[in-house]
Amino acid sequence: MAEKKKIFTPVSEKEVTRAIVDGFARQFIEYVESDCLIIGGGPSGLMAGRDIALKGVKTLIVERNNYIGGGFWIGGYLMNKVTVREPGQKILEELGIPYEQAVKGLFVADGPHACSKLIAAACDAGVKFANMTIFDDVVLREGNRVCGAVVNWTPVQALPREITCVDPIALEAKFVVDATGHDACVVKKLEERGILKTLGFGAMWVEQSEDLVVEYTGEAHPGLIVTGMAVSTVYGLPRMGPTFGAMLLSGRKGAQVILEKMKKG
Amino acid sequence: MNNLILHIPASIDLYQEGDLKGLNVEELGRYLTEKTHIPFHLYGDIYQGLPEERMEALAKEYARIKVKEPGKKFILGSPLQAEIDYEKRRIGDPNWRIFGILYEGVWYQRIVSESMAEGELDFDRCSILFTNQLFVTWDRDDRRYHARVSLYGFPNLISTTGLVEAPAKPKEFYLKKQMGMPTELLKEEYQGRFLDYGDSRMTEVLKGYAMQTLFFHLSGEPFCEDRDCRLFNSHWQEEVLHSQLNGQYEFCPRHEAVLKTLRDQTPLALPLDGGGWGWGCIHET
């Protein structure tokens, strides 16, 4: 009787380990210095990264969670439908995300489908990721220009005090994007140092605040671009509901700002 | 003179700020003149013709007066450059469509007055700025800021955004919104029960609010307690729609009598092509 052919090629454990370490190390060494370092892998960070990388710019996204996508997997009340207002649906179309019109001007898509397509679009564009990596501090240069970020393994935070002496490491970049949502972690670090003052975010609901988030997206400090909900925190804009159009458009605008600045040199 | 009339302004000056989404300011001016016989002037965009350095200074001022926490007394801020740049873009564009920032109303009024030319802001003029921006004022009773439709003084401010956001919508609207129902779906469900952006009834409704500013100038008291009178101080959208569109009369008998006295005492102005009385002139820069 003929021996049954194995489906997978036999590979030893050590080869698997070498492949992981080698692949990770090569990418990490390459991206210790990048053109654009995005802190936060939610919808605005992904959108910014995707648009920048499409232009051939070396882009790394740092994400503290294992999963990429932030809150884009689910909509309000943990329901996995995400909504965008016009013209946000044009980006859904561009990314090949199916959607339907709920009412005039409002479109709804499946969260898992929308989020996975956005992540894939960023990957396809050439964005690289450092997930399970937490932002710790900013790297500053002459004139307090932001030129990178200090990061660490996310699990370090959860370790007992006796073994939390894991020093962080620094990544350098021409531009850093704060896409960390309401926390605005990067800007907050500048605030701690007395370099920049955030305004906290407005408590009153105003329907049109999505427009404001896009309008205010830009360079908050030399070398630091702010996108997404972090914009609300930095400039004290009113709260928004669970619609993602502003996140996508803000990410796109952040990318435009960076590309223009790079062009000017 | 009717004992409610303390002072009759010589003219009603109408200014605009931003995209007012179909509000017909000229029609509104004609209405005011028809009701009072006081002539109106259309000045258009309040910032037109201001020199660059003046615009820069105004932008800085506006950027300082944002109210972040409605439950806390406002203090003047130190704006970031991006906030000043935003204000420069905003006031530099007569068709600016974006709103949502909450400005401290009394300070806003003060800054607007600084942008007006010398002589334009006068006790003898009832100046009204129609804006698409949102302002709030502090309520001493519940110790928090509230969005407003209008603010009286020199000049008067009337906000088209305030008209949509300030008077409360039906209670169930907010409950469902808190439960995560998208605003667009709620608008469909409660259609007609409140005013929305670009609402075709905006001009008609704001005629009543403009009359309130005029009564403030005439008597110091802009409001009436009669909910059928256009001077009623509405707190709910339902009240706005009733007093401005569905009341049993336009003005209660008492205020109608004041208007009649006013018309009798005010020299008749020139008739306009489209009916009513008064004249319109676009401000030369």
Please tell me the least confidently modeled range out of A222-231, A248-257, B187-196.
B187-196
pLDDT higher for B231 or B73?
Answer: B231
* Confidence band for B283, pLDDT divided at 50, 70 and 90: very low
Interface list for B 20-79 with A (CB within 8 A): 66-71, 77-78
**pTM of the predicted protein model:** 0.84
Do the chains contact at B101 and A212, CB–CB below 8 Å? yes
Give the model's pLDDT for residue A209: 76
What are the boundaries of each domain within chain A? 15-76+110-264
ipTM entry: 0.77
Give the model's pLDDT for residue A207: 61
Give tens-digit pLDDT for B10-53. 999 999 999 998 899 999 999 999 999 999 999 999 999 999 99
Q: How far is A173 from chain B, CA to nearest CA, in Å?
A: 22
pLDDT higher for B232 or B141?
Answer: B232
Do the chains contact at B183 and A202, CB–CB below 8 Å? no
Residue A207 touches chain B, beta carbons under 8 Å: yes
Q: How far is CA A160 from the centre of its chain?
A: 28
Cα B32 to Cα B42: distance, rounded to the nearest angstrom: 12
Do the chains contact at B82 and A216, CB–CB below 8 Å? yes
Give tens-digit pLDDT for A47-84. 999 999 999 999 999 999 999 999 999 987 788 999 99
Give tens-digit pLDDT for A138-182. 999 999 999 999 999 999 888 887 777 788 999 999 999 999 999
Q: How many CB pairs under 8 A join A and B?
A: 90
Interface list for B 182-201 with A (CB within 8 A): 182-185, 187-188, 197
Please tell me the least confidently modeled range out of A71-75, A181-185, A197-201, B51-55.
A197-201
Interface list for A 106-165 with B (CB within 8 A): 106
> The CATH number of B11-265 is which of 3.40.390.10, 3.30.110.70, 3.40.50.300, 1.10.275.10?
3.40.390.10
Contacts of B98 in chain A (CB under 8 A): 208, 211-212, 215
Residue A8 pLDDT exceeds 80: yes
Q: How far is B44 from chain A, CA to nearest CA, in Å?
A: 25
Strands B102-104, B144-147: pairing is: unpaired
> The CATH number of A15-76+110-264 is which of 3.40.50.300, 3.50.50.60, 3.40.50.10490, 3.30.420.10?
3.50.50.60
Do the chains contact at B184 and A235, CB–CB below 8 Å? no
Return mean pLDDT, chain A: 92
Closest residue of chain A to B188, computed from CA coordinates: A103
Peptide bond into B253 cis (omega under 30): no
Cα B183 to Cα B160: distance, rounded to the nearest angstrom: 19
Among B122, B154, B131, B132, smallest CA distance to B15 is for B131
